[in-house]
Amino acid sequence: MKGIGVSPGISIGKAYVLRQRKEVASGVVLTDESAVLQEIGRYGEAVKLSVKEVQELFEKVVKEERDILEVQLELLQDPQLETDVRTRISSDKMTARDAVLMVIGLAVQVFEQMEDEYLKARAADVRDAGNRIVRNLSDGTGRNLSGSAGSLISNSGEGLIIIAEDLSPSETIGMDRSKVVGFATQSGGKTSHVAIVARLRGLPAVVGCGGELDGIVDGDRVVLDGNQGLVLVNPDASIVDEYRKKREIFIQEVRRLETLKDQPAVTTDGVKIELLANIATAEDMEQALAFGAEGVGLFRTELLFMERDSFPTEDEQVEYYKTILLQAGNRIVTIRTLDIGGDKPLPYLELPEEDNPFLGYRAIRICLDRKDIFLTQLKAILRASVFGKCRIMLPMISGVREVQQARAILEEAKEELFRSGIAFDTSIKMGIMIEVPSAAVIADLLAKEVDFFSIGTNDLCQYVLAADRMNKQIKDLYDPYHPAVLRLIRFVIEQGHLQGIPVGMCGELAGDPQATSLLLGMGLTEFSMNAPAIPTIKDILIQSSEAAARKNFQL
Ligand code: PEP
Ligand code: MG
């Protein structure tokens, strides 16, 4: 059966099926005040126990997994959750268990309805925290690797492949590393926790397999192919053999790619290509360095703004940017200014209801309108600039005037710092993303106004083809290889180079191995991508000739 391969690799093992417990509210109504007080007390105890459980798990895991657990701890101790649950108990006379189910259920719904894939996946965190409290209010039994898991392993000598509808963050983290060799789930996407943890542990995972997984029972032999997103159940011995060989080849390939880490990406005819990473957090930066990134081509700052309930102050922003710059050492870090609106709401910034949010009030448009927000961010970037090598990048630019307005505000930010005697990089570069078709078409004019271009193919593609990048129904229309998109990319690279400014690409196309030769042939010299893609792209580049790629390139 087919799903989405979210963590590469191949595993062969025994199925261990974790069934979802359906938690249903009892509907019991509390009749007197003493019962209310008792339920409030039980709730408090269950939260305490839940916090203790997560803290115990904390000691046993690596840093990135701890970050996920930290979110759990925050949610468990969230004062709003406590207030809402207590209100349900005291005013609506619900039992503690029913109250938690109700409050968590509503919160999960809110997250699930969000368009942004990352935020949507956070519904699992909330559900996880809620289930833990509910379990501690009930009989205390959870889904775990029980005794039968041990016997499955000792009988076969093979590791376990966990089969589940979905896995909560703490369930995934709590899995015994010595026993589990892979994960297959019915739901989930690229940013679900099972995907994140599997990638961290180097285990294959296939998610979004749908109801077909229901047919698997404990002990079935399963071949999991995280590269192709395949789950094979009780395949013939010959197929198992074939996958054993594939697994061996994959492992060898991973080792070979690892040896390229410190090698520069130079084509066979001597053209040096910059391979950069797209990041959002300090953890991403660590990963970028581990995969041999030569810098950061896109630092998405919006995450810092999205994971809070008020705007970060200038000082808080300085700290955030400084941390990344110090990690990067003398590598370039391209800090993108706030790219919110559209699919990325801020809980504390009231945005008007819009018929077409993707064509609406977002990114640089908000920043130019709300100068206070923009000026604070620019000052923070400037202050942080003394701790490393950074440049500023503006998202969603559609014309020359926006660049000029943004530059004027940048000058104002510099002026303010200068007057206050605060140090900053006075020659900091300012570039723009080319992700709106109008900007691509006037790349010749824009190139005179800025220090660099970075092509954002994710948005460029959706706007050029009038095909929403999130809409699965039209996913075939969303085609970055459409000649209209490719022509614009070629034009932007050409015009940038004619004006003598560097041109990079930070949309997903830059990390797509099928596009590497094409982009090399168009003259692209800066590729920025999710860090794990870097070794594969480097491998292609060092075996390619730029001259040959240019010759092959016809449009
Ligand atoms: C893009 O649009 O290509 C891009 C890199 O930006 P984001 O995916 O953050 O919109
Ligand atoms: Mg974009």
With a cut of 90, say whether residue 237 has pLDDT above it: yes
Q: Which two tokens stand for residue 545?
A: 């000739």
pLDDT at 250: 93
Which string of b and e fits 307-318 if b means at least 16 CB within 10 Å?
eeeebbeeeebb
Closest-lying ligand 1 atom to the alpha carbon of residue 298: 5
519-to-193, 505, 533 alpha-carbon distances in Å: 33, 9, 15
CA dihedral 246, 232, 144, 204 (to 10 degrees): 30
Q: Above pLDDT 90, what percent of the chain? A: 64
Q: Please report how the helices 33-58 and 63-76 are oriented relative to each other, as an axis angle in degrees rounded to 10.
A: 170
- How confident is residue 57, by pLDDT bands cut at 50, 70 and 90? confident
* Banded model confidence at residue 178, pLDDT cuts 50, 70, 90: confident
Q: What is the mean pLDDT of residues 218-242?
A: 95
How do residues 249-276 score in pLDDT, each as one tens digit?
Answer: 999 988 898 899 899 999 999 999 999 9
More confident residue, 60 or 426: 426
What are 551's two structure tokens? 């010759």
Which residues neighbour 521 within 8 Å (Cβ) at sequence distance 6 or greater? 546, 549, 550, 551, 552, 553
pLDDT at 199: 81
Residue 302 pLDDT exceeds 70: yes
pLDDT tens profile 35-51: 999 999 999 999 999 99
3-state secondary structure of 151: helix
State the average pLDDT over residues 343-355: 84
Task: Give the per-residue pLDDT at 306.
Answer: 85
CA angle 330/332/338 to nearest 5° reads: 135
pLDDT of amino acid 512: 93
Q: Is the pLDDT of residue 122 over 90?
A: no
Distance 397 CA to ligand 1 centre (A): 12
Per-residue confidence (pLDDT) for residue 83, from 0 to 100:
92
363 φ/ψ angles, rounded to the nearest 5 degrees: 45, -125
What's 505's DSSP letter? Answer: E
CB 465 within 8 Å of CB 485: yes
Residue type, 529: M
pTM, rounded to two decimals: 0.72
Q: Which residues are designated catalytic?
A: 193, 506
Taking only the tens place, the pLDDT of each residue in 329-346 is 999 999 999 999 876 788
Q: How far apart are CA 90 and CA 39, in angstroms?
A: 9
Instruction: Indicate whether 496 pLDDT > 90.
Output: yes
Residue 427 identity: S
Whole-angstrom Cα distance, residue 273 to residue 246? 31
Instruction: Please tell me the distance from the alpha carbon of residue 304 to that of residue 246, in angstroms, as a whole number.
Output: 41
Q: Which residues of 474-512 are buried (b: 16+ CB within 10 A; e: fewer)?
A: eeeebebeeeebbebbbbbbbbbbebebebbbbbbbbbb
Rg (CA), the chain: 26
Three-class SS of residue 429? strand
Torsion of CA 430, 434, 436, 442, to 10 degrees: 90
- pLDDT (tens digit per residue) in 433-487: 999 999 999 999 999 999 999 999 999 999 999 998 877 788 889 999 999 999 9
For residue 1, CA distances in Å to 161, 229, 231, 340, 468 come to 15, 9, 5, 37, 28
Question: Taking the CB of residue 42, how many other CB atoms lie within 10 A of it?
Answer: 16
* Ligand 2 centre distance from Cα of residue 363 (Å): 9
Question: What tens digit of pLDDT does each residue of 389-408 get?
Answer: 999 999 999 999 999 999 99
Percent of the chain with pLDDT over 70: 95
pLDDT tens digits, one per residue of 362-394: 999 999 999 999 999 999 999 999 999 999 999
Task: State the CB neighbour count (10 A cutoff) for residue 452.
Answer: 20
Residues with CB under 6 A from ligand 1: 298, 300, 339, 435, 456-459, 506-507
What confidence score (pLDDT) does residue 145 get?
61
Find the ligand nearest to 506 CA: 1
459 alpha carbon – ligand 1 mean position (Å): 6
The more confident residue out of 52 and 516 is 516
376 Cα to the center of ligand 2, angstroms? 22
Give the distance, in angstroms, between the CA of residue 33 and the centroid of all CA atoms in the same chain.
Answer: 47
pLDDT of residue 147: 53
Position 148 confidence tier, pLDDT thresholds 50, 70, 90: low
Q: What is the model's pLDDT at position 157?
A: 67
How far apart, in whole angstroms, are the C-alpha atoms of residue 402 and residue 243? 54
- In a mutational test of the pocket of ligand 1, which residue from 343, 458, 505, 529 has the highest number of ligand atoms less than 8 Å from its CB? 458
CA distances from 427 to 328, 391, 410 (A): 19, 9, 12
Nearest C-alpha to atom 1 of ligand 1 is from which residue? 456
Q: Is the pLDDT of residue 303 over 90?
A: no
Query: What is the model's pLDDT at position 343?
Result: 67
